[in-house]
């Protein structure tokens, strides 16, 4: 069985009983960064061996993990934070397992986009998640063009290094909409700030952006 296990996005206590039980009972945990996942396994006294499964070894390692699954081993797939496959490795292994008729189950839990959406105060009934915007300015602006007139709440992940630049592009391409910046959710410096794209640029120009961010907008 392949278990797709969601893990905390900051606060180690945000994990389900079933996730902890699963991580304890499987034969192997395939983790994006084994050192990072060790913080979680130590906290919950999980003794299961860990192996790495990340973007740059996912094809080769995926075949190896599939072989173990075919031999009858139980494997849990986790990433550094949140839900595997959501702007994180996972999709390839899940597809391999599915195509090989390996039983798959999901152990749901946190994901930053849903945490941000529910805390944003923006409409939650209809939304679109875009993951990370392209890094290159021209491609980023072109992608943003696609959301002109979008009625649904649009959600992006963004790095602190590109945040002010992205806010500037949002202002210029989408006409200064109201944006919610959800920062460091579930952590000590959690902050959910709602303002125009221009005001948020000014805010984060005065106060350097730090930590992890989700950007949401509703036009």
- Residues near ligand SAM (CB under 6 A): 9-10, 79, 81-83, 86-88, 111-113, 157-159, 182-187, 212-214
Nearer of residues 186 and 219 to ligand SAM, judged by Cβ: 186
Q: Is-contact 181 212, C-beta < 8 A?
A: no
Q: 197-206 and 163-174 helices cross at what angle (nearest 10)?
A: 160
Distance from C-alpha of 98 to C-alpha of 105, rounded to nearest angstrom: 11
CB of 67 to ligand SAM, least distance (A): 26
Nearer of residues 27 and 54 to ligand SAM, judged by Cβ: 54
Distance from C-alpha of 90 to C-alpha of 106, rounded to nearest angstrom: 12
Nearer of residues 146 and 159 to ligand SAM, judged by Cβ: 159
Nearer of residues 87 and 201 to ligand SAM, judged by Cβ: 87
The H or E element that residue 206 is part of is: helix 197-206
CB of 68 to ligand SAM, least distance (A): 23
What are phi and psi for residue 114, nearest 5 degrees? -75, -40
CB of 41 to ligand SAM, least distance (A): 18
CB of 5 to ligand SAM, least distance (A): 12
CB of 193 to ligand SAM, least distance (A): 12
- The Cα-based distances of 99 to 96, 103, 165 in angstroms read 5, 10, 41
Residue whose C-beta lies closest to ligand SAM: 82
DSSP annotation of 82 reads B
Nearer of residues 111 and 201 to ligand SAM, judged by Cβ: 111
Which of 22, 42, 26, 24 is CA-nearest to residue 34? 42
């Amino acid at each position: 069985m392949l278990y797709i296990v969601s893990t905390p996005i900051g606060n180690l206590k945000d994990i389900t009983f079933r996730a902890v039980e699963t991580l304890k009972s499987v034969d192997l945990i395939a983790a994006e960064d084994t050192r990072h996942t060790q913080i979680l396994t130590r906290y919950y006294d999980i003794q299961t061996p860990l192996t790495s499964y990340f973007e740059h070894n996912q094809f080769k390692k995926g075949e190896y993990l599939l072989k173990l699954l075919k031999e009858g081993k139980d494997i849990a797939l986790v990433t550094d934070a949140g839900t595997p496959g959501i702007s994180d490795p996972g999709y390839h292994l899940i597809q391999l397992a599915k195509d090989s008729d390996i039983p798959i189950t999901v152990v749901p839990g946190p994901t930053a986009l849903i945490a941000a959406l529910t805390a944003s105060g923006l409409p939650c009934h209809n939304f679109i998640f875009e993951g990370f915007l392209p890094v290159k300015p021209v491609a980023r602006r072109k992608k943003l063009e696609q959301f002109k007139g979008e009625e649904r709440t649009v959600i992006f992940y963004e790095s602190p290094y590109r945040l002010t630049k992205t806010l500037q592009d949002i202002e210029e391409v989408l006409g200064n909409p109201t944006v919610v910046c959800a920062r460091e959710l579930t952590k000590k410096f959690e902050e959910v700030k709602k303002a125009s794209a221009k005001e948020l640029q000014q805010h984060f120009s005065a106060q350097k952006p730090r930590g992890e961010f989700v950007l949401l907008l509703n036009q």
